[in-house]
Structure 1
Amino acid sequence: MDRRGYLGALAGASSIALAGCTTLADVGERLSGGEEYEVGMSRNAFDPAEYEASVGDRVVWKNTSGADHTITALEGSLPEGADYFATGGFDGEDAAREAWRDSRGGRLEPRGTYGHTFEVPGTYDYICIPHVGAGMVGTVVVVE
């Protein structure tokens, strides 16, 4: 085998061997850009769908898919005294839904991140507005 053929075969074998290592990072893993995140996003799901945090923790979502997404809290699920959260910085669920409907407002583009600090214990349900019909819902459970 000539040198060029050998190097080509070696590169191909290396790519196959490393294929599992080059997939999307696991929850909390440091990415090449140095960003850490707790919740990733596939085409139609948050990963993990349920995440547990402690009071005062900042949870970071990363759009690990090729589609635009939103993170939109369901107002009816927020614990009493909790701050509303949504990509785009909206004050409420209706405003977030209207902005998405009108101009795709609040979208989190591929590889984008969004973070929110949870100060009140309880269960927080949230959705991705454009993909909620496909079941893209998530929950953050905040404990003392």
Structure 2
Amino acid sequence: MTEVASGPEGRLRFDPETIEISTGTTVRWIAESPGHNVTSKPGASEKCENPEGADPFASYDGDEHYTVMEEGATFEHTFDVAGEYVYVCAPHEGQGMVGEITVTE
């Protein structure tokens, strides 16, 4: 399990912003301040990227891209497809709240 803080100390960032994991690893995002979410869904941001064959992930259901997590809430996703993922906090991607995950075999 790898953990990523969303909005640590009220800052508009993920910590760490870049991680490298192996296939089958689960990442847990923890909302450390209110007003954030996690998504790699292409409709949420032009910055979002997923490898071919990988399903996009999001801390919310459907296409409500501005649905945010409660402070203290967690979201988990297991990465089974190798490649490069770029995800954002949809409400704050314009302020640079963007993360990258490299998944290796």
Do they fold alike, i.e. is TM over 0.5?
Answer: yes
Residue aligning to 1:128: 89
Residue aligning to 1:44: 12
4+ residue stretches of structure 1 with deviation over 4 A?
none
What are structure 2's unaligned runs of at least 5 residues? 43-47
* Residues 37-89 of structure 1: per-residue CA shift (max 9 Å, x gap): 51002230000000111101111000112x22110105362101101100113
3-state SS, counterpart of residue 24 of structure 2? coil
- Give the TM-score, by structure 1 length: 0.62
Whole-Å separation in 2 of the counterparts to 1:126 and 1:74 = 8
Of the two structures, which has the highest relative contact order with CA contacts closer than 8 Å and spacing of 6 or more?
2
Whole-Å separation in 2 of the counterparts to 1:111 and 1:37 = 17
Residue 110 (str. 1) matches residue 71 (str. 2) = yes
Residue aligning to 1:86: 58
3-state SS, counterpart of residue 72 of structure 1? coil
Q: Once the two structures are aligned, what percentage of the paired residues are identical?
A: 41
> Which has the greater radius of gyration?
1
3-state SS, counterpart of residue 75 of structure 2? strand
Residue aligning to 1:77: 49
- Aligned positions, number: 97
What are structure 1's unaligned runs of at least 5 residues? 1-35
Residue aligning to 1:12: none
Higher helix proportion (structure 1 or 2): 1
Whole-Å separation in 2 of the counterparts to 1:96 and 1:86 = 10
Higher strand proportion (structure 1 or 2): 2
Residue aligning to 1:68: 35
- Give the TM-score, by structure 2 length: 0.83
3-state SS, counterpart of residue 93 of structure 2? helix
